Structure 1
Amino acid sequence: MQFRILIALLIFLGSYLPLSLILLAQNFDYASLSKPFCCAFWTGTCSLPFKNPAFAIGIFAVCVACLVVTLGSLAVVRPKHEILVKDAKYVPTDLMNYTLPYIVAFMSIDYQESGKFVGFLIFLGWMFWITYKSGQIILNPLLIVLGWRLYDLSYSFVGSNDPQNAKALVKGNIEAGQRCRQTSVQDILVIKNNGGAGG
């Protein structure tokens, strides 16, 4: 089973927080730095120093919110079932899917150029659909930076010799022979405290 599409979309958008920050910086009106500082926005005499503040700040805020929800969801997960790891293979992240939008962003994407921006959104939507359908939505570079790794696991539950196979999102590293606790989020095992003794 794949991640439900709404959860997948949250993870996908959260992973592009750095891209939204780049676009925010590109949209900044650097000429405003030479003007006197003004923060009384309610008077109508001040404005945010962006060419398109609604788009620039809005998209950045959405990406921040999606990343916070993703990390918050992982933080509240409590692994319960103890397993014995038989074999663990690290699944390297295919960064090409994530670097392509960055390359496109540096090709003069501007919130003010509606045609280019709509085309960029269509491109991102297509990238999301490919990533979602290929089952690679959890291969999130930001999660890697924060210490999460994806593994193909062969394991059995403690007290059982029946072999099981699954993908696991692991906080840190994991090796064959370890005992650890996991919980399943759809078809992905989540393992956080994996420093159990070998079995």
Structure 2
Amino acid sequence: MKLRFASSLLIFLSAYSPLSIIFLIQDFDFAKKEVMHPEIVWPILGLSLLSCVLLWVAVRYLKSSSPPISVKSVSNRSGELINYSIPYMISFFVMDLGNLKLLLSFGFFMFIMYWLTMKTHNIFINPVLAVMGYNIYDVHYERNGNECEDFFLVKGPRLRKNERCRIVEISEQLYVVTERNPEV
């Protein structure tokens, strides 16, 4: 199952939503107490906020009735969040929202980042999900007598060996844990 374009874009935008606040601060004229490029800043800020709210609603209301799986081993992937820092660092260099060439260049760079995160299955290594309490793990598990290894988004503490949980697939090789130690 591949992640739909709209869903992946929503997740990607939410990951970079703090960047919109940085743009707002950088574009704010403190002497005049106004935003210098409101036609750019407000839509970006609104889209960022909308993507975070929709992401929160989506993960909050995921349901699963699949048979429980049994965890064999777990390794953490949340440390890869550092990869999201590159666009944030770029924003601190000359980022004039009134300069069309800079905006187009930054837009192209963000498109390349989106494409790479999709191709490498790193779309869910997302600081906004981390703030919501989700971590991503590489999990080796048993499902219906078969050994599998995939990525799991888990809210709360790390999964433990031999723990049982219910999962729901949200993209190829990526699942969200919807229930831990379920009553069978």
More strand by share: 2
Scaled by the length of structure 2, the TM-score of the pair is: 0.89
Secondary structure of 1:31 counterpart: coil
Root-mean-square deviation (CA, aligned residues, Å) is 1.7
Aligned counterpart in structure 2 of residue 84 of structure 1, from 47, 50, 70? 70
The question of 1:143 aligning with 2:123 is answered no
Distance in 1 (CA, whole Å) between partners of 2:82 and 2:160 is: 27
Instruction: Provide the C-alpha distance between the structure 2 equivalents of 1:162 and 1:60, rounded to a whole number of angstroms.
Output: 45
User: Equivalent residue for 1:127?
Assistant: 113
Shift of 1:105: 0.6
Partner of 2:80: helix, strand, or coil?
coil
Q: Is 1:93–1:141's contact at 8 Å kept on the other side of the alignment?
A: no
The alignment status of 1:25 with 2:25, answered yes or no, reads: yes
State the Cα distance separating 1:89 from its structure 2 match. Answer: 1.8
Aligned to 2:149: 165
- In structure 2, stretches of 5+ residues that fail to align are none
Q: Does the 8 Å CA contact 2:168/2:178 hold for their aligned counterparts? A: no
Structure 1: which 5+ runs fail to align? 34-48
Identity of aligned residues (%): 30
Structure 2: distance between partners of 1:78 and 1:138: 18
Aligned residue runs from structure 1 range 3-82, under 5 A:
3-33=3-33, 49-81=34-66, 82=68
Q: How many Å apart are 1:61 and its aligned residue?
A: 0.6
Partner of 1:189: 175
Maintained 8 Å contact 1:8/1:137 = yes
Larger Rg: 1
List, as ranges, runs of 4+ consecutive aligned residues in structure 1 with deviation greater than 4 Å: none
1:96 Cα offset (Å): 4.0
Find 2:160's aligned residue among 129, 151, 175. Answer: 175
Structure 2 Cα separation of the partners of residues 124 and 186 of structure 1: 22
**Contact 2:76/2:136 (8 A) holds in 1:** yes
Deviation at 1:129, TM superposition (A): 0.9
